[in-house]
Structure 1
Amino acid sequence: MTVTIIPVETPSLGDRSYLVHDGRVAFVVDAQRDIDRILAVAERAGVSITHVLETHIHNDYVTGGHALARRTGAQYLVNADDEVSFERTPVSDGDVVEVSPGLHLRVLATPGHTFTHLSYVLQGDSPAVFSGGSLLFGATGRPDLLGATSTHELARHQYRSVRRLADHLPDDARLLPTHGFGGFCATTATGAEITASTIGRERQVNPVLSQDEEDYVADVLAGLDAYPAYYAHMASLNAAGPDEPDLSPPAQADAAELRRRLEAGEWLVDLRHRTVFAAGHVPGTYNVALDVRFASYLGWLLPWGTPVTLLGDSEAQVAEAQREMVRIGIDRPAAGTSGRPEWWTEGPLATTPRASFADLERVRHHRPVVVLDVRRDREWDQAHVDGAVHVPLHALLARRDDIPAGEVWVHCASGYRASVAASILAAHGRRTVLIDDSFQRSARTCGLPLAGRDAAA
């Protein structure tokens, strides 16, 4: 019998779901909220979904597992120790789940990412482990998402859980995590570029399998950085059993309604690329471009519950942004519109000057400007423009008053986050210039004075 494992990628969150089938029936691991993608995969394969599995109560997205199980009539497997408000098939360490005569799963408790985290071992001639947020490609799931008081304890659990997985599995067992593909749930950025791994490979490259426990814990705790603010809302939503999302188009808004929404303090989010936004946009709108990090940064910055109206080049762009939003629990845009920015306002468009780091080097000799670095702490510590002001993007709304008076030249690593920040500052009355340039390539070579740990590199 052939077992087929189909990953369903969600690169914007750095996650994967899996549909696994034997040609007749299938199980799904860690389904994302927009379950229509998984249903389409099952339909193309000609299989019925009979089991839906959760490795843990997720902190980085709203699960589609509950809705998928209800839609298909599948058993919904969730740790017996998780406190949830819906009916589920409770599973615990050591249980064996028979999906079909050829699909058997063994349940292993692997706490660390959460206290009740589970992994599922696919038994047979081609073993594999669905490790969720436990053992990742070259890393482990971060242990701090439940709060500072449990971080140290969970880091030790994570170390022992991964060692347990390695002890229970042969070197050729496929490793199939659902986190760690460029998102914020891993302890390091390693893994975003790796497409496959095995237990044997991880024995060679993963620090958790070569370090002793004390060194691992110390390194993990020292390496933890900020994570998106919306994570605080995900676990409670998932424990309640989220319904299937409504992806029907939002109500259309004309220029007058958009103005009213802006005046009411709602967020109007322009999804267009930063160069197009800079050339002309509705004053007061925020540029969170529909890029690979759209959902993470929108959810990080948006005060929870604030109505969001989407402005895009096309209806398809608005629909894609809406799909990204439901994955993190922003269920319905307040409104949406598409087309040309001239259609979205009753007055003139605003523009944002764009510049390079070389332009900054030239201008600083002639007049004073404020240089604002909106990268995260770890990036700033490595190298930064000497004399710059550092306010990470995720802290900008709360710390706007920390930015000195004057024209603000905003930069990040490449321009995406800087455009978000420049649009926010401009909406609050500041004169901004977007440095739309590569820090690594240009700031180090154009003569700007740098400081930081690796400034001379």
Structure 2
Amino acid sequence: MTVPMEILPIDTPSLGDRSYLVHDGEVAFAVDPQRDIDRMLALLESEGVRLLHVFETHIHNDYVTGGLALARLTGAAYHVNAADEVSFEREPITDGDVIEVGTTMRVQAMATPGHTFTHLSYVLRSSGHVPAVFTGGSLLYGSTGRPDLLGPAHTGELVHAQYSSARKLATELPDETRVYPTHGFGSFCSATPTSGDESTIGREKRINPALTESEKSYVDSLLAGLDVYPAYYAHMAPANAAGPEAPDLSPPRQADPAELRHRIEAGEWVVDLRNRTAFAAGHVAGTLNFGIDGGLATYLGWLLPWGAPLTLLGESPEQVAHAQRELVRIGVDRLAAAATGDIETLAGGHALRSYPTAGFAELAEVRHHRRVTVLDVRRGQEWDEGHIDGAVHIPLHELLDRIGEVPAGEIWVHCKSGYRAAIAASLLDATGHRVVAVDDEYAAAAPVGL
């Protein structure tokens, strides 16, 4: 009789990652759990299974792990590569080690360096089921994990190791093996865009550049395609090596309008979580817009000076709690304060600020009648693929340091879809610029003559 086995993903779409819970109806193991472990605990409870093991594929560069806290809370063994230098007790694991999970599941560690030097993949075998492999930041869907996060001195060695690791997986595992990566669903840890939502080793042999191209072709194209990654990544590996505790998701202290004004005047970051349309229509002067409906953690984590006080404004406590959960995943653990409710009330009697929004068609029309500055805040790779003639290019992640380069006068700011443009518009508005936020898809620019 075939023993049932479930592989349950836990998606974190805002960071482009997946964690996994695997069980046979009685016992379970977890792979690469995110910081907010209550999601994993709730799944364990709903499935009615007991967690025995937690496996880390690598010391993560894009989020703070929940692995240690989850293992301590449940009594599970915490497996981290024996070669990783960490400051906590763990069950060291190395290439070739096999862990029996209950009586039905066998997990074998396989060295797959490339994303990091000590990266491990985990091969799952269970009687009556096709094999599965948890590839972390190694083999992704149609791509591989990027090899440059440990610094340029190591990129050359790691990119060749990544190629070899992908080939190792494809050689040693049968084609029907199901592939379960941690990265590659929008994560900046992916070297190139990924494709698909599920895969097998056989499919990857047909579509993955690491398995279809020569080593030189793969290396050259991957290195040429690497783009920037968020600044907060620099703090993730040290936090994970130190052994992060479970996050504190208790509600932050509430601030009144007077305190909000004091914090803004002191130069602190007070972030409005509402969508960009609502923010543009009316907001507290000096606040910045990082909407909860987009890449809040990625872009706020990228731009916020590390460790700086942060206050959140939301329409409801639930909106603030959502943002708080997003932020603890990248190590922004405690907020200075928060405030919720009607924006006019939060302004404390001061006049709201606003600025217009428009589309590319309106921008094209305006340029026929008066001189305006077009500010493109997309990344360099996006700019190189095509841009509006005469536009000024300052990527969003460089805007704070280069805001003195923004010309005086009317600024029309755009990105690819409007989210980053809204952040940039709020930064410019807070520094006194006259701004119009282009809330439109960049694909609409060329058809109107831009």
- TM-score band, normalised by shorter chain: over 0.9
Q: Is the 8 A contact 2:294 2:419 kept in 1?
A: no
Range that drifts further, 244-253 or 354-363: 354-363
Local SS of the residue matching 1:398: helix
CA–CA distance in structure 1, aligned partners of residues 97 and 428 of structure 2:
54
Aligned equivalent of 1:240:
242
CA–CA distance in structure 2, aligned partners of residues 290 and 28 of structure 1:
28
What is the TM-score normalised by the length of structure 1? 0.96
Aligned equivalent of 1:263:
265
Match of 1:326 among 318, 325, 328: 328
Match of 1:11 among 13, 17, 24: 13
Aligned equivalent of 2:428:
425
The answer to whether residue 395 in structure 2 is matched with residue 392 in structure 1 is yes
Q: Is the 8 A contact 1:11 1:292 kept in 2?
A: no
Q: Is the 8 A contact 1:247 1:323 kept in 2?
A: yes
CA–CA distance in structure 1, aligned partners of residues 260 and 88 of structure 2:
39
Match of 1:434 among 413, 433, 437: 437
CA–CA distance in structure 1, aligned partners of residues 181 and 202 of structure 2:
15
CA–CA distance in structure 1, aligned partners of residues 406 and 156 of structure 2:
35
Match of 1:160 among 160, 164, 170: 164
- Which AA in structure 1 matches 2:179? L
CA–CA distance in structure 1, aligned partners of residues 81 and 148 of structure 2:
20
- Which AA in structure 2 matches 1:183? S
CA–CA distance in structure 2, aligned partners of residues 213 and 5 of structure 1:
33
Local SS of the residue matching 1:310: strand
The answer to whether residue 137 in structure 2 is matched with residue 133 in structure 1 is yes
What is the TM-score normalised by the length of structure 2? 0.98
Aligned equivalent of 2:219:
217
Q: CA RMSD, aligned part only?
A: 0.8
Match of 1:21 among 8, 23, 26: 23
Aligned equivalent of 2:83:
81
Q: Is the 8 A contact 2:377 2:393 kept in 1?
A: yes
Local SS of the residue matching 1:317: helix
Local SS of the residue matching 1:221: helix
CA–CA distance in structure 2, aligned partners of residues 402 and 168 of structure 1:
54
Match of 1:375 among 366, 375, 378: 378
- Which AA in structure 1 matches 2:114? G
Local SS of the residue matching 2:36: coil
Offset at residue 382 of structure 1 (A): 1.3
The answer to whether residue 209 in structure 2 is matched with residue 207 in structure 1 is yes
The answer to whether residue 397 in structure 2 is matched with residue 408 in structure 1 is no
Aligned equivalent of 1:171:
175
Range that drifts further, 357-366 or 250-259: 357-366
CA–CA distance in structure 1, aligned partners of residues 355 and 154 of structure 2:
44
Aligned equivalent of 1:278:
280
CA deviation string 1:352-383 (max 9, x = no partner): 11112121112222221111000111111111
- Which AA in structure 2 matches 1:206? N
Aligned equivalent of 1:92:
94
Local SS of the residue matching 2:108: strand
CA deviation string 1:64-122 (max 9, x = no partner): 00100110011000000000000000000010111111110111000000000000000
CA deviation string 1:301-336 (max 9, x = no partner): 111011111111111111000000000000011111
- Which AA in structure 1 matches 2:130? S
Aligned equivalent of 1:298:
300
Aligned equivalent of 1:454:
none
Local SS of the residue matching 1:396: helix
CA–CA distance in structure 1, aligned partners of residues 68 and 117 of structure 2:
21
Could you tell me the percent identity over the aligned residues? 64
What count of residue pairs does the alignment treat as equivalent?
Answer: 445
Q: Is the 8 A contact 2:361 2:448 kept in 1?
A: yes
CA deviation string 1:156-204 (max 9, x = no partner): 000001100111100100000011111111011223xx22100000001
Aligned equivalent of 1:187:
191
Offset at residue 63 of structure 1 (A): 0.2
Aligned equivalent of 2:33:
31
- Which AA in structure 2 matches 1:355? A
Range that drifts further, 224-233 or 97-106: 97-106
Local SS of the residue matching 1:432: strand
CA–CA distance in structure 2, aligned partners of residues 48 and 266 of structure 1:
45
- Which AA in structure 2 matches 1:313? E
Offset at residue 292 of structure 1 (A): 3.8
Q: Structure 2 unaligned runs (5+)?
A: none
Range that drifts further, 365-374 or 246-255: 365-374
